[in-house]
């Protein structure tokens, strides 16, 4: 594939450069999921990608994490072109995808058993890692549930554990694919706050895929609106509000104005 030559400028941590993705691409007539999408994300930036369903939001995440290769264009992360699965990524999905045979604590510890340099010193330093995992679980409000199994937890608690698992190895890049979509409204808003706190503590670069506009504006520095298939970026909106943001902020006129603006954008691409 692409050579290492296409290094991104120093200020962009993730550089998605005119990327297209075609599924079933052998004959060239497969479904075009993404068409010339470009997004540049600074280090420590929190971006949200919103758009109608089927706009290739999830494909975008797979491209950035290196699980899928673009049909055209290239993705660079931390200055080098992505050629295979990155090893600095934390991921969470709509389903918590926890392992039912592991306790919540052991689920959170899973990445440390795999990611270097933690994996090779995991056995010696286990006590220290366990302490870290307990602290993280406490931060998301799961103190006392460490030894429970995931199936003994509610959906919101499972999603909190899933966030902890995505963050335990302090990834430079965090990918969230509609992580709160399956939760009720109150739990969802709770978790926005939890996620914001976690992000403010470590400042990873975050890509959040969502179809909830309030969620996008509450959490993100920049919101990208994508068009329906084939997906491409049709608008970029900066969210200027100071951190930490509160739920009350989401009912202020300037917040609602941005949300409305985004809604109009999406309405336009849906009718196009």
Partner 1 sequence: MSDPRLLKLLPWIVLIGFFVAWEAVCRIFAVPVFILPAPTQIWAAFVQYFWPIMGHAWQTLMTTLVGFGIAVAFGLLLGIAVGSSRAVYEALYPLMVGFNAIPKVAVVPILIIWFGIGTVPAIITAFLISFFPIVVNVATGLATIEPELQDVLRSLGASKLQIIWKVGVPRAMPFFFAALKVAITLAFVGSVISETVASNSGVGYLMMAANANLNVPLVFAGLVVLAFLGVALYEVFAFLERRITFWATRGNDIVG
Residues that bind partner 1 (CB under 8 A): 62, 65-67, 85-87, 89-91, 93, 95, 97, 99-101, 110-111, 113-116, 145, 148-149, 151-154, 156-157, 165, 169, 175
Please identify, using beta-carbon distances, which residue of 142 and 239 lies nearer to partner 1: 142
**H or E segment and range at residue 256:** helix 253-271
Please identify, using beta-carbon distances, which residue of 103 and 227 lies nearer to partner 1: 103
Please identify, using beta-carbon distances, which residue of 35 and 190 lies nearer to partner 1: 190
Q: Which residue has the tokens 């992505």?
A: 82
| Min dist. Cβ of residue 153 to partner 1 (A) | 6
For 144, residues 6+ apart whose C-beta sits below 8 A from its C-beta are none
| Min dist. Cβ of residue 160 to partner 1 (A) | 11
Residue count (the chain): 272
User: In Å, what is the CA distance from 242 to each residue of 144, 249, 261?
Assistant: 33, 10, 19
| Min dist. Cβ of residue 25 to partner 1 (A) | 19
**H or E segment and range at residue 113:** helix 104-114
| Min dist. Cβ of residue 85 to partner 1 (A) | 5
Please identify, using beta-carbon distances, which residue of 70 and 232 lies nearer to partner 1: 70
| Dihedral pair phi/psi, residue 67, rounded to 5° | -75, -20
């Amino acid at each position: 594939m692409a050579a290492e030559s296409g290094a991104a400028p120093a200020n962009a941590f993730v550089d998605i450069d005119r990327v297209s993705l075609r599924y079933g691409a052998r004959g060239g007539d497969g479904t075009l999921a993404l068409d010339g999408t470009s997004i540049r994300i600074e280090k420590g930036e929190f971006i949200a990608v919103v758009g109608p369903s089927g706009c290739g939001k999830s494909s975008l995440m797979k491209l950035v994490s290196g699980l899928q290769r673009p049909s055209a264009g290239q993705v660079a992360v931390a200055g080098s072109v992505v050629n295979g699965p990155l090893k600095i990524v934390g991921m969470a999905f709509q389903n918590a995808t926890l392992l039912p045979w592991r306790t919540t604590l052991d689920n959170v510890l899973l990445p440390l058993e795999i990611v270097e340099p933690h994996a090779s010193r995991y056995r010696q330093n286990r006590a220290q890692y366990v302490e870290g995992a307990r602290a993280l679980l406490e931060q998301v409000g799961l103190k006392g549930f460490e030894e429970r199994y995931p199936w003994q937890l509610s959906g919101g608690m499972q999603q909190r554990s899933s966030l902890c698992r995505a963050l335990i190895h302090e990834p430079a890049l965090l990918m969230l694919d509609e992580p709160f979509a399956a939760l009720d409204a109150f739990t969802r808003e709770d978790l926005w706050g939890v996620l914001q706190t976690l992000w403010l503590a470590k400042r990873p670069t975050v890509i959040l895929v969502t179809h909830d506009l309030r969620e996008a504006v509450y959490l993100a520095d920049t919101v990208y609106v994508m068009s329906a298939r084939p997906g491409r970026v049709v608008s970029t909106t900066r969210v200027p509000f100071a951190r930490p943001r509160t739920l009350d902020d989401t009912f202020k006129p300037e917040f609602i104005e941005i949300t409305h603006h985004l809604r109009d954008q999406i309405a336009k691409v849906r009718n196009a």
